[in-house]
Structure 1
Amino acid sequence: GQSCGLHLTGGVMMAGDPVRMDFLRLAHAKGRCLGMDTEIITPSEAAAMFPLMDPSHFVGALWDPVEGHLDPAGTTHAYARAAQRLGATVVLRNRVVELTQAAGGAWSVVTEQGTVTAEHVVNCGGLWAREVGRMVGLELPVLAMEHMYLLTEALPEVEEFRARTGREMVGVLDLPGEIYTRQERGGVLLGTYERDCRPWSPKAAPWDFGHELLPPDLDRIAPSLEVGFRHFPALERAGIRQVINGPFTFAPDGNPLVGPVQGLTNFWVACGVMAGFSQGGGVGLVLANWMTEGDPGHDVFGMDVARFGEWASLRYTNAKVRENYSRRFSIRFPNEELVAARPQQTTPLYDIMTRERNAVMGVTWGLEVPLWFAPEGEEARDVLSFHRSNDFEHVGAEVRAVREDVGVTEIANFAKYAVTGPGAEGWLERMLANRMPRTGRIALAPMLNAAGKLIGDFTVAKSGEGRFLVLGSSAAQIHHLRWFEAHLPGDGSVTVERLGMRLMGLMLAGPRSRAVLAALADGDVSNAAFRFMDHRAMDVGGVPALVNRLSYTGDLGYEIWVEPCYLRTLYRAIEAEGVADFGMRALLSMRLEKNWPTWFAELRPIYGAFEGGMERFVRLDKDFIGRDAAAYEAETGPRLRRVSLAIEAADADVMG
């Protein structure tokens, strides 16, 4: 019931060359999958809705009817008044100076006007989110950047369009110019994410900063303005009414930081929300669901604060945010690996992989991992495209080496947890949908939430009574540790320890892998003595290791886990047996060929266990979280079903 000045004009994204047109086709396809009513249109059709542009600079556009703009002040007051009608109290100009938590969990929010006791605290401090986080010992990966846009004086073309059509002009995102523009009263707003960007207060935000603007610096955005004047010739004649330069915040990947903070009780964040007016309502809904129901109600991992680990330090964040800001309107290609703040984490094999093996490296949760190996004499880099990459032939060779002989790859980029204690087995039975293995054996086990949706997928090895090694997705390890900690028994009978980079490993896979292991292991690894899904401690290549007989390629294979100090010795021993290297892209290709699902792709919280094709790992005859919902899904039949498809394509590969 409150006015927020909504102008639903629609908007167009403009492409200036065939590569950016591929990007728009990809965006259109994703939008169609999500139920968005977008349309590929011609430059002339776009110019008819924004006649200030010169369509000769473009080759196509993507039209979205559900775009527009609104009044920030009006929207803020509308939210506040709606909250007040529902019983909330809004106190203005009252800074929080301290946060403390009592033994029982209640928070004391100490403000300049007194102390408030709260069950939950949400850090939505915006420019001061880092400072609020530091009150509880938290260093959030967020940085404010200066951002400039300008408002022009009235333009006759704008008035003529309004008189002729009775409508506003649409918003325009000019991808080749890396600028955005829309009508603002009788003129236009023109903004850019300049390459020559500037952080604002990169180490600590001043508490006395208010609504004042920062000094404008038109020289920094001059290159973008020059492109804008060519693409929108009428703007070159327009007078500048005002230049706005103000700070707003980003996380390293440009997405918000939302959710409960692992290791703290009832402390939440909602910060780094760069696009506050388009994302604020969704962020609020997710937090409300999470607090009251224990689950966000949606697949929100892309903005979950748990997607970053301790490696996202202040300097790392500052480097990645600057990179992200300067590339805001740049194309991100499917296989593109960005370079800022790298390398951050490496294994003891990093120099061997990059200098001796000519590996093309990528990043998984801050860790450098080999993606594929370029032949000797060829430059180790990706040639970026929406079509088939230059890696295709070489990844194929790695796959053939594994399928026909034997290959080795690093597996440091798994999450590793030690679950121990007298209550460990019973607790894991409750947390995971499959039965736990006997000593010396392995089980594959999905994890469900109360609604029966897939929130994790793990390999569980039982080392002894009350001792389990649990392996999962590295990118979700803080996310999963938070879930584990929230469900630990209060009697101390279970301990969950995240091992992180203290345990690394190599995977051997292929028909010759047993022969290689037999040559290196001080023990019997014959098929009879070391069966599929066995787990054992043994020396391999002269170093102590934990060995699992399974592989993610779907071939005969072994995971060999060691402490980091032994990894180079282990690799050199395997290398001496004439084993080929293979990278992450070959591994993911092989797992698809065997129809093995993976977390973040086919297994997501939007799917049930039976939709995800995980029914053989779900034991409905035992009690576990999500059991009733899973039983209902099994009884009524899954709404969807994961299937494996072979796509015939001449010059492009399936993505996602």
Structure 2
Amino acid sequence: MKTHVKALIVGGGAVGCGIAYHLAKAGWDTMLVERDELTAGSTWHAAGLLPLFNMGYATSHIHDYSVKLYAALEADTGLNAGFTRCGNLRMAQTDARMDEYMLYSATAETVGIEHEFLTPAQIKERWPLVRTEDLKGALFHPTDGYINPADVTQAMAKGARMAGCTIERRIQVNGYDWNGEEWVVTCDRMIEKGGNLVPSGEPFQIRAEHVVTATGNHAQRTARLLGIKIAAIPVEHQYIVTERDPALAEWRAAGNPEHPVLRDADAKWYVREERGGWILGPYEEGAPARFPYEVPAGFRADLFPLDLERIEEEYMSFIHRIPTSEEVGLKDDFNGPICYTPDGNPLVGPAPGLRNMWLAEGFSFGITAAGGVGHYLAQMMTAREAEIDMASLDPRRFGRWMTTEYATRKNEESYAHVFVLHHPDEERPAARPLRTAPAYDRQIAAGAQMGQVNGWERPNYYGPVDAPEGFDHDARSFRRGGWWEYAKTEAQAIRETAGLIDASAFAKHWVSGPGATAFLDWFTTNKLPKVGRINLTYALTEAGTTRTEYTIVRRREDGYYLVSAGAWADYDADNLRKLAEEMGGEFGPVHIHEVTNQWGVFALAGPNSRAILNELIRAPDPATALSNKRFPWLSARDIELGMCPTVAIRVAYTGELGWELHHPVEFGRYLWDQLIAAGEKHGMKLVGARAQNWLRQEKSYRAFGTELGRDATPLEAGLDRFVDLDKNFNGKQAMLDTGIRSKCVTLLIDGPGDADPWGREGLFLDGEKIGRLTSGGYSVAFGKQIGMGYVRPDLSEPGTKLKLRMFGELWDAEVTEDSPFDPSNARIRVDG
């Protein structure tokens, strides 16, 4: 057996074999070890469905790649993967569900996934066994279907072996040690004893440059061995197999095609044909998480007892939808563990704090994802980045603050939400509130309706404290929800008077030491600011795309305060530390400290913001302390606001005169109260994240995770002014070599009167898809919809007229100049 390889994969389910297949195809010396037999985990009891439907851009690409790969596996390996391409019919009982499907259709269209909408009459005509009188319609994927999980896993395993991969069964990993150059993985052979697998007691080692863990239900054991946190914990999923349905048998005997996989999302189940009967898989409330710490030693290809009472409602709705099933008995049942994560997306990418350690964990749709994850993770490992932005699946999106109870509760919620309407403005309630800033109670009392980012509670908007009868703060919509008018009022306040935003969730890092200046100069694209000044800049991937956006405040010659997106604190910390360590002594000592929890941030913006601060500032010359001469745009000053020491940064994400007020977090409640009192006579309103998102689009301010990501360079994002090509920085040559494949633009849109784009919609010219939105909303300045996105470079000039698809219709959209609101920044620079 090999004892040294370039890549070692731990876990022999569908995901592990998909990764092995692609790494071996890429020419890497690859080995896979499995503690039991291939497919012995969740793979063996999976229903084998291949749902292309997904709201996420990256996940849609992954699923689409998998389906195409599985159709070609037999030609490549000689093994039939058991793929049945019968289609997938997602039925809708409500108009809201149809709106969801139309929003998904926008994502599918940008990815290139074939689909069509069907009326109830068309459904009944094609599949008369399905009851349709209470349906609004359906979304149909003709290329979808199902596959035999064991067969597709074995086919990918064979393909991996054919490409040179070694696969070893009955080997358990018991330890991981990094020796500075490679991983030393301690293993033991597993032997059968009394029906259980037990270690032989004869440990040995495998050395590997890279390790990938795809350990499925054993993710918590993997986390403990690695000394990290992994948010993957299994949840029970049960499905039942019925006896033969005579009506179905008659339908097929007459030469009719197999039914598509049927999904009644409003009833929370899927159904497909199985040997003349039906498989019913519900996603019910109350499914418990299992194995929050470790899978019991004796649990192998085992199942849990079926709990029919828990799925009674779903079972009855199945009978309603397919009436012929009422007299059909149950033939078999399965209730096994399937891994989930708090947001339902898998964990794919670098392990936090560990070099050359890669995670592929938390797959609730592992069969669907296995091929695509193998493809894109192999790209990340061999080419240093995937061709699509994989940040939404990055394992570091869940911070070190995460606990077992949090992951357990959120994963149970994630399971129950599989078929819940996925509104773009949805906020799931489990395990909340958790991380709160000091002014949280004040904000709640003022009507704040909270969202969650990286565990932090953050106001989305402020609704009425005494809500009128019938007003529902929790009402969600794919169109303009109940919050829309309140967000509009907030946005108008910032444009006309002033608004106060709690931005404490921003990620913050302190970088210092003798090597800090040289390191950050290499790490980022822009010139470093002088002491007391700030710059906007970007850190790149090795592929030349955007890893992170930073506001850098230079506090002293060798001390820098870095501010970045709130959802990415651990992601940014890990990248900073790894790259500083990788460069070794080239720049001298660099000290990196995450200080997110030490500093609160209030953003005050609007024409009256200077007047409000003048009420509070304590200085020898308060009348001029905030003037352009004493406090210019893009500078930082230590000031005192009442009794609160504050690092004030003259910048505003909303494009108005404004300051970010960074303060020691323990002063948060005091400073909030002072600002509220001072702002009252100046017309200040409290403002949430949704209004801020609209306003930043009026200024064409790109946001990480939407316009900015690991699939586009800063030059493609139109950020040339923040890229200093006269200096050497990480990823520079790769960025230049990439060229300009597409360009980021801002568009004003004449869309429907009751809806705004969400940032997922396709852009068209003469019926051809030429780009897509990445952000969307409403512009109070222009009185119409606004959006940002990417188009072909030749279509990026202001005045270019395009079409945008929303709710199945095409609407006029025009490319504007960058920063269509106040393009000269006169309002930001206004003196006083």
> Normalized against structure 1, the TM-score is what?
0.96
Measured in 2, the distance between the counterparts of 1:576 and 1:541 equals 12
Deviation at 1:166, TM superposition (A): 5.6
Deviation string, structure 1 residues 541-589 (Cα, Å, up to 9, x no partner)? 2221111101111000001111111111211221221242111112112
Deviation string, structure 1 residues 92-133 (Cα, Å, up to 9, x no partner)? 122222333335443222323532222222221111111121
Give the residue type in structure 1 aligned to 2:289.
Answer: P
Closer, same or farther in 2 for the Cα pair 1:641/1:400, shift >3 Å?
closer
1:297-316 aligned at under 5 Å gives the runs 297-316=387-406
Closer, same or farther in 2 for the Cα pair 1:216/1:382, shift >3 Å?
closer
1:490 aligns with 2:595: no
Matching residue of 1:649: 752
Match for residue 371 of structure 1 among 448, 460, 479? 460
Closer, same or farther in 2 for the Cα pair 1:258/1:213, shift >3 Å?
same
Measured in 2, the distance between the counterparts of 1:317 and 1:376 equals 32
SS in 1 for 2:169: coil
Give the residue type in structure 2 aligned to 1:416.
Answer: K
1:620 aligns with 2:717: no
Matching residue of 2:504: 412
SS in 2 for 1:230: helix
SS in 2 for 1:457: strand
Measured in 2, the distance between the counterparts of 1:385 and 1:104 equals 52
1:345 aligns with 2:435: yes
Closer, same or farther in 2 for the Cα pair 1:99/1:629, shift >3 Å?
closer
Matching residue of 2:690: 585
Matching residue of 2:649: 548
Q: Which runs of 4+ in 1 moved over 4 A?
A: none
Matching residue of 1:468: 560
Q: Compare 455-464 and 385-394 and name the one that shifted more.
A: 385-394
Measured in 2, the distance between the counterparts of 1:361 and 1:298 equals 31
Matching residue of 2:639: 538
Deviation at 1:637, TM superposition (A): 4.9
Matching residue of 2:779: none
Deviation string, structure 1 residues 288-316 (Cα, Å, up to 9, x no partner)? 22222222332112211111112321111
Deviation string, structure 1 residues 411-435 (Cα, Å, up to 9, x no partner)? 1111111111122122112121111
Q: Is the 8 A contact 1:595 1:644 kept in 2?
A: no
**Matched residue pairs, number?**
653
Deviation at 1:514, TM superposition (A): 1.4
Measured in 2, the distance between the counterparts of 1:392 and 1:215 equals 46
Deviation at 1:325, TM superposition (A): 0.9
Give the residue type in structure 2 aligned to 1:244.
Answer: F
Measured in 1, the distance between the counterparts of 2:235 and 2:705 equals 30
Q: Is the 8 A contact 2:347 2:394 kept in 1?
A: yes
Matching residue of 1:388: 480
Structure 2 residue ranges without an equivalent (≥5) = 1-76, 190-201, 620-624, 760-832
Give the residue type in structure 2 aligned to 1:539.
Answer: E
Measured in 1, the distance between the counterparts of 2:737 and 2:164 equals 38
* Percent of aligned positions that are identical: 32
Closer, same or farther in 2 for the Cα pair 1:380/1:182, shift >3 Å?
closer
Matching residue of 2:630: 529
Deviation at 1:17, TM superposition (A): 1.6
Q: Is the 8 A contact 2:182 2:210 kept in 1?
A: no
Matching residue of 1:203: 293
Closer, same or farther in 2 for the Cα pair 1:396/1:203, shift >3 Å?
same
Matching residue of 1:68: 145
Q: Compare 468-477 and 114-123 and name the one that shifted more.
A: 114-123
Q: Is the 8 A contact 2:182 2:208 kept in 1?
A: no
Give the residue type in structure 2 aligned to 1:16.
Answer: Q
Give the residue type in structure 1 aligned to 2:251.
Answer: F
Matching residue of 1:192: 282
SS in 2 for 1:401: helix
Structure 1 residue ranges without an equivalent (≥5) = none
1:5 aligns with 2:106: no
> Normalized against structure 2, the TM-score is what?
0.76
Match for residue 150 of structure 1 among 208, 224, 240? 240
SS in 2 for 1:605: coil
Deviation at 1:461, TM superposition (A): 0.9
Measured in 1, the distance between the counterparts of 2:472 and 2:634 equals 36
Measured in 1, the distance between the counterparts of 2:728 and 2:651 equals 27
SS in 2 for 1:645: strand
Matching residue of 1:227: 317
Deviation string, structure 1 residues 584-638 (Cα, Å, up to 9, x no partner)? 11211211122222111222222222321211111112111232344456xx655
Question: C-alpha root-mean-square deviation of aligned residues, in Å?
Answer: 1.8
SS in 2 for 1:244: strand
Q: Compare 49-58 and 583-592 and name the one that shifted more.
A: 49-58
Closer, same or farther in 2 for the Cα pair 1:551/1:315, shift >3 Å?
same
Measured in 1, the distance between the counterparts of 2:465 and 2:235 equals 42
SS in 1 for 2:226: coil
1:494-505 aligned at under 5 Å gives the runs 494-505=590-601
Q: Is the 8 A contact 1:358 1:380 kept in 2?
A: no
Give the residue type in structure 2 aligned to 1:643.
Answer: T
Give the residue type in structure 1 aligned to 2:491.
Answer: V
Deviation at 1:284, TM superposition (A): 1.6
Q: Is the 8 A contact 1:57 1:231 kept in 2?
A: no
Matching residue of 1:178: 268
Measured in 2, the distance between the counterparts of 1:297 and 1:18 equals 36
Measured in 2, the distance between the counterparts of 1:246 and 1:375 equals 45
Matching residue of 2:802: none
Deviation at 1:470, TM superposition (A): 0.8
Give the residue type in structure 2 aligned to 1:645.
Answer: L
Matching residue of 2:795: none
Give the residue type in structure 1 aligned to 2:454.
Answer: W
Give the residue type in structure 2 aligned to 1:126.
Answer: G
Matching residue of 2:166: 89
Q: Is the 8 A contact 2:707 2:744 kept in 1?
A: no
Matching residue of 1:565: 666
Deviation string, structure 1 residues 461-491 (Cα, Å, up to 9, x no partner)? 1111111111111212222222222321312
Q: Compare 221-230 and 68-77 and name the one that shifted more.
A: 68-77
Deviation at 1:395, TM superposition (A): 1.6
